[in-house]
Amino acid sequence: MHGAIQLIEIGAIILALGLLGAVATRFSISAIPLYLIAGLAFGSGGVLPLGASEEFVALGAEVGVILLLFTLGLEYTAGELVGTLRTSAPSGLADLVLNAAPGVLAAFLLGWGPVAAVAMGGITYVTSSGITAKVMGDLGWLGNRETPAVLSILVFEDLAMAAYLPILTALLAGASLAAGATTLGIAAATITVILFIALRHGNLVERFVASPSDEVLLLKVLGLVVLVAGLAQQLQVSAAVGAFLVGIALSGPLAHTAGELLAPLRDLFAAVFFVFFGLHTDPAALPPVLGVAALLAVAGIVTKLSSGWLAARSGGVSTPGRLRAGAALVPRGEFNIVIAGLAVAAGINPQIGPLAAAYVLILAVAGPLLARGIEPLALALRGRKTGRRQAAVPPAPDTAAAGRLDQDDIHGHDTHGDDVQGDELRAAEEAP
């Protein structure tokens, strides 16, 4: 009987996701906020709590994040990753300072103490890689010029988490400095090994998973990604980092085929991830902390827009691309909840959990909406800039020349219109 109830609940969840996705498609909006709200409705304290399928949803959520980051890694080669990380260190450090500061300050103002401040700094700092990857894919931004800047910030944050989580765990447990340093060393060594294999022996990985059969290729790639992600997590490294590095180890036609084969599974389990987050948020615990969460969310939007702007500007991207980069970084999600869970389990302060949940929920909903709404603003800024340049053009000496100028202006406008998606010519806009 219990198995039948599980099947009914799982089937109902997947069907509901399909219906919500259809609504989102009908109104041309992101489905992520709808998935989160559905999770709230059917979670603890919701309208109709689900219980029998909780284990499946939890595991599916982990697989969803892993596949989202793996497919994001398929977009880039190992050489591009190393080059991006070398040039993104200043932007990554600025992102850390700008976004951790509000959480640290809030903890001290609320009188929660230094350990809680370290936890709150992590909660407000890190972007949800899963939500950001989904939003960028939905909006067709993966091929834009600002995408490497966004990716560099995400990778920097995930690597920072690999150092931060062992330190936080040691602080929460009151462990010695030596124990914390040992855990951190294991995490660093794991990342180094995975990155070395991806950089130097990616061809061996490709030969291992390659197969003329789509079925065999799917099973090999999926098994390898989940296996590496699990090993990375076991060794105190983010499972997302492990999956991402497997993605960059694959390139060329093999990466394209693997991405196409895994796309349906990625979409399914990514949707389950967003529902899972909502399921584990008790709506009754949110109202008392909404005020503080809203203030932190406003600060988080401003600081992430600043981080994306700085990172994209360092890559020579124009104003619209900088805005899109900042908007893509706004959502918070999986890491933030993990950090809050560790703090609550350690008994630091019971309010950290609801505050983190409200904060993440606000930005998980506002992030995709802001990303979709940032495009009209980018177009408006582009139009004003183009208008000023056209006003500076001297009048044409004759009618024929004027006609040619008008045609050039029209052509340039069309090019920029296409450029909103492809972003191939944005560097030219930075010219005086």
The tally of CA atoms less than 13 A away on the side-chain side of residue 214 is 6
Residue with tokens 């709808």: 34
Token representation of residue 174: 């009151």
Cα gap 211→218, rounded to integer Å: 9
Instruction: Judge whether residue 48 has pLDDT over 60.
Output: yes
Cα gap 24→317, rounded to integer Å: 30
pLDDT digits (tens, 9 = 90+) for 356-385: 888 988 998 888 889 888 877 777 766 666
Backbone angles phi, psi at 213, to 5 degrees: -95, 125
Backbone angles phi, psi at 257, to 5 degrees: -65, -45
Percent of the chain whose predicted confidence (pLDDT) is above 90: 22
Cα gap 116→111, rounded to integer Å: 9
Query: Alpha helix locations (H) across 110-251?
Result: 114-125, 129-138, 147-173, 177-200, 202-209, 214-234, 239-249
pLDDT grade for 291, boundaries at 50, 70 and 90: very high
Q: Which region among 48-62, 173-187, 211-225 has the lowest average model confidence (pLDDT)?
A: 173-187
How high is the pLDDT of residue 107?
Answer: 94
Q: Specify the higher pLDDT residue, 61 or 95.
A: 95
Helices 114-125 and 334-345: crossing angle in degrees, nearest 10, is: 160
Q: DSSP letter at 210?
A: -
Residue with tokens 């045609």: 407
How high is the pLDDT of residue 81?
Answer: 66
Mean pLDDT (whole number) for 278-303: 88
Q: Does residue 156 contact residue 329 with C-beta atoms inside 8 Å? A: no
Could you tell me the pTM of the whole model?
0.66
What is the number of H-type helices and E-type strands within the chain? Answer: 18, 0
Residue with tokens 């977009």: 75
CA nearest 172: which of 20, 361, 347?
A: 347
Percent of the chain whose predicted confidence (pLDDT) is above 70: 77
Q: Is residue 192 exposed (0-12), middle (13-18) or buried (19+ Cβ within 10 Å)?
A: exposed
Q: Which region among 134-143, 152-161, 332-341, 412-421 has the lowest average model confidence (pLDDT)?
A: 412-421
Cα gap 419→197, rounded to integer Å: 36
